[in-house]
């Protein structure tokens, strides 16, 4: 990884460590982690046009969560509303933050299922573990690690969710390849993320917001679709839900792992014919 990518990743980690600390210290203040949301500008939210955070979850869902889990919500969608979760599934949340989507998923998959949260920021992991304990869910595991090198075995996950995190990665092809690796064949992706209209070049995206604020690092719709297909996903769709900046949208990204792109196809063995037969 180049030093500028490393610096960017460190900046992301610091930003979300601050956010987790702020939620921990003032979970009663009603602020979004001290204003450190996945956004640089909370004016639109204040003006009644929600773009990031807890308002993207319905009241019933918020009601079943600890306050700190709701306040720590920094996403741009609600992947649990679109992910096809079943009793007994193994679910993995990439960049699980304060744990909101892991807790909701754990309840959906029930005691025979498992919900994993993966995050690189110690402060977020500590907050998520407290929130899961307060919520009384036990079928959850929070893992420390990078979404570019997922610490789980191949073909071990049924569903991958994520909420406004992949745009923060400095190596998106690695994330998509890792998603394909850990999913079982037929495994599903239901992700929320910020996505740019195809007309916006990377420079245009950077003019609309910062990298740590989930804007500058966003893929375009076509880049997302192509990246998922190259990684080994079919039935790919990227649907915009609401605009978060000029030409930049929160989106729902879905796909199904169609095969094993890293796997070796077994040779076709012709049955041996007995001479004179047939």
The total number of residues written for the chain in this structure: 278
Query: CA nearest 99: which of 73, 78, 123, 122?
Result: 73
Give the binding range for ligand SAM (CB under 6 A) out of 58-66, 103-111, 114-122, 235-243. Answer: 114-122
Name beta bridge partners: 195: 219, 249
Q: Considering the complex, state which of residue 211 and residue 233 has its C-beta at the smaller distance from ligand SAM.
A: 211
Phi/psi at 94 (5° precision): -85, 120
Considering only 8, 109, 124, 219, the residue that binds ligand SAM (CB under 6 A) is 124
Give the binding range for ligand SAM (CB under 6 A) out of 27-35, 107-115, 143-151, 223-231. Answer: 143-151
Site for ligand SAM in 146-175 (CB under 6 A): 146-148, 163-165, 168-169
Q: Beta strand pairing status for 90-94 and 157-163?
A: parallel
| Pair of tokens at residue 107 | 């309840």
Q: Tell me the residue ranges of DSSP E strands in 75-208.
A: 90-94, 114-119, 140-144, 157-163, 183-196
16 touches ligand SAM by CB under 6 A: yes
Q: Considering the complex, state which of residue 117 and residue 232 has its C-beta at the smaller distance from ligand SAM.
A: 117
Considering only 66, 97, 190, 209, the residue that binds ligand SAM (CB under 6 A) is 97
Considering only 100, 109, 159, 196, the residue that binds ligand SAM (CB under 6 A) is 100
CB 127 within 8 A of CB 23: yes
| Pair of tokens at residue 151 | 């610490």
Binding mask 64-93 for ligand SAM (x = CB under 6 A): ---------xxx------------------
109 touches ligand SAM by CB under 6 A: no
What is the number of the residue whose Cβ is closest to ligand SAM?
Answer: 97
Size of the site for ligand SAM (CB under 6 A): 24
CB 232 within 8 A of CB 180: yes
Provide the Cα torsion 206, 197, 169, 120; round to 10°.
Answer: 100
Q: Considering the complex, state which of residue 22 and residue 147 has its C-beta at the smaller distance from ligand SAM.
A: 147
Compute and round to an integer the Cα radius of gyration of the chain. Answer: 20
Q: Considering the complex, state which of residue 175 and residue 236 has its C-beta at the smaller distance from ligand SAM.
A: 175
Give the residues lining the site for ligand SAM (CB under 6 A): 12, 16, 38, 73-75, 95-98, 100, 119-121, 124, 146-148, 163-165, 168-169, 214
């Amino acid at each position: 990884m180049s030093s500028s990518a490393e610096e960017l990743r460190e900046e992301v980690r610091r930003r979300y460590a601050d956010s987790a600390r702020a939620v921990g210290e003032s979970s009663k203040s009603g602020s979004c982690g001290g204003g450190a949301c996945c956004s640089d500008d909370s004016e639109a939210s204040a003006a009644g046009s929600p773009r990031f955070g807890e308002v993207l979850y319905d009241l019933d869902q918020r009601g079943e969560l600890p306050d700190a889990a709701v306040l720590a919500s920094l996403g741009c969608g609600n992947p649990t509303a679109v992910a096809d979760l079943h009793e007994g599934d193994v679910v993995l949340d990439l960049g699980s933050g304060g744990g909101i989507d892991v807790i909701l998923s754990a309840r959906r998959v029930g005691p025979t299922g498992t919900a994993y949260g993966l995050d690189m920021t110690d402060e977020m992991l500590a907050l998520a573990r407290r929130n899961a304990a307060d919520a009384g869910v036990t079928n959850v595991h929070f893992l420390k690690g990078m979404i570019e090198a997922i610490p789980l075995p191949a073909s071990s996950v049924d569903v991958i969710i994520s909420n406004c995190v992949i745009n923060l990665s400095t190596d998106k092809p690695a994330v998509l390849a890792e998603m394909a690796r850990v999913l079982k064949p037929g495994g599903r992706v239901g992700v929320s993320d910020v996505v740019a209209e195809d007309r916006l070049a990377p420079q245009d995206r950077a003019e609309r917001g910062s990298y740590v604020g989930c804007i500058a690092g966003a893929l375009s719709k076509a880049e997302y679709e192509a990246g998922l297909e190259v990684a080994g996903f079919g039935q790919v769709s990227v649907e915009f839900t609401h605009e978060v900046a000029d030409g930049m949208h929160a989106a729902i990204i879905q796909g199904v792992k169609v095969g094993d792109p890293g796997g070796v196809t077994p040779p076709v063995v012709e049955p041996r014919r007995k001479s004179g037969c047939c």
